[in-house]
Amino acid sequence: MQVPTSWIYNYDDPVTLMQDWDDRMDVVSTLLGYPKIRNNTILYLQVDVDIMYGFYGIGNPQINNAYNPLQPENGNKNHWFLKPGDSFWETEFHEMGHAQLFSKFPGETEAAVNLLAAAIFNRLYGIDIDTALGESFGNQPQITRDQAALNWMVTPISGLVTQWIFPIQRRMKSATSSEDMPSM
């Protein structure tokens, strides 16, 4: 992670902060089956004067937090980047999930990437998995494992429907002519 000097020149405990960041990245690497020692640019965040595309996204480095370099700071900025513990911004890890390029079911891309934040909340900070899952969606306590499973079962997934179900239905229909069907 990289932050402006004006944010940290009076920062009390950079060692704890960086150990917490390393621990978060270890959870991400373990969840995705990668070694804990990885290329730093893969898990590299920073702030900048502008967000390149005007919306959140991945990058090298990943920049989703803007700042004003002309604004005076006290060397101990109150920003989630500089707070160890479970008060991080889950969207940053959602975007990092996109950058990890792990396999996802069709139509599940925007949901599956939240697993990184859920794992960090659960594995590192000891938050129960249902609460962690809700937190990974931005403090949505109604999102639990049961609710996620229910949503998956009742929501049509366009990729799954168009790639698998419709072709099966077409093959079944073409294999069965009207004279093969019993009359009513």
Q: What is the pLDDT of residues 113-169, one digit of tens each?
A: 889 999 999 999 999 999 999 998 888 888 888 988 887 777 766 555 545 555 555
7-22 pLDDT tens trace? 999 998 999 999 998 9
Q: Measure Cα distances from 156 to 81, 99, 159, 178 in Å.
A: 37, 26, 9, 29
Neighbours of 87 (CB within 10 A): 8
The model's pTM: 0.77
The answer on pLDDT for 27 being more than 60 is: yes
In whole angstroms, what is the distance from residue 16 CA to residue 6 CA?
Answer: 19
